[in-house]
């Protein structure tokens, strides 16, 4: 997924990531909220919702924002967001797993795993592939499944 570093919404998210990585969640939240308010495309909405999900305090809120990211990604209508799908499904699957909804977790982990060919062959791609595989292993071996 090629993200335009000149896009003002992307720039706000990048600043939010820096704050988040520095442990300043309040500042990150403010930047992500500002990005959400400034978004003007489905692509931007998908990206911002993904980052909003990262800073939520409850699993229900995490799931809500990840589902928002998926909803907006589905509306993009071109290939610009395709490499984003495995990560989206990974995050949705993890939220469902944390909520104890193992069947939905498996479904989303499987959807993400089906799309791993869209990932680049870099560290982030490997991390996402591995996380999806671990999620499937955990949930398929879950006695509640």
93 occurs within a structural domain: yes
- What does the DSSP 8-state code read for residue 138? H
User: What count of other Cβ atoms lies within 10 Å of the Cβ of residue 17?
Assistant: 15
Question: Is the pLDDT assigned to residue 104 strictly greater than 90?
Answer: yes
The model's pTM is: 0.90
Q: How many domains does the chain have?
A: 2
* Per-residue pLDDT reduced to its tens digit, 6-29: 899 999 999 999 999 999 999 999
User: Which pLDDT score, from 0 to 100, does residue 128 have?
Assistant: 94
73 occurs within a structural domain: no
* Per-residue pLDDT reduced to its tens digit, 107-131: 999 999 999 998 889 998 999 999 9
d(CA 101, CA 42) in angstroms, rounded, equals 28
86 class by beta-carbon count within 10 Å (0-12 exposed, 13-18 middle, 19+ buried): buried
d(CA 35, CA 110) in angstroms, rounded, equals 31
69 occurs within a structural domain: no
Locus of tokens 């509306």:
75
Look up the domain containing 93 and give its range.
78-145
Are 82 and 113 found together in one domain? yes
Q: Contacts from 49-53 at CB under 8 Å and sequence distance 24+?
A: 50/84, 50/87, 50/88, 50/91, 51/13, 51/16, 51/17, 53/91
Q: What are the distances in angstroms from CA 87 to CA 3, 6, 22, 70, 98?
A: 15, 23, 22, 10, 16
Are 45 and 84 found together in one domain? no
Are 52 and 111 found together in one domain? no
d(CA 113, CA 90) in angstroms, rounded, equals 8
């Amino acid at each position: 997924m090629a993200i335009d570093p000149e896009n003002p919404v992307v720039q706000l998210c990048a600043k939010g990531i820096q704050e988040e990585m520095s442990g300043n969640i309040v500042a990150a939240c403010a930047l992500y909220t500002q990005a959400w308010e400034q978004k003007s495309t489905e692509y931007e909405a998908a990206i911002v919702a993904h980052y909003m999900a990262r800073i939520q305090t409850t699993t229900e809120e995490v799931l809500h924002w990840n589902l928002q990211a998926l909803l907006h990604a589905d509306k993009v209508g071109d290939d610009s967001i395709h490499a984003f799908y495995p990560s989206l499904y990974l995050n949705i699957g993890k939220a469902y797993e944390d909520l104890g909804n193992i069947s939905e977790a498996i479904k989303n982990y499987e959807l993400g795993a089906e799309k791993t060919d869209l990932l680049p062959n870099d560290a982030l791609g490997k991390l996402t592939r591995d996380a999806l595989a671990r999620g499937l292993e955990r949930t398929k071996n879950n006695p509640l499944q």
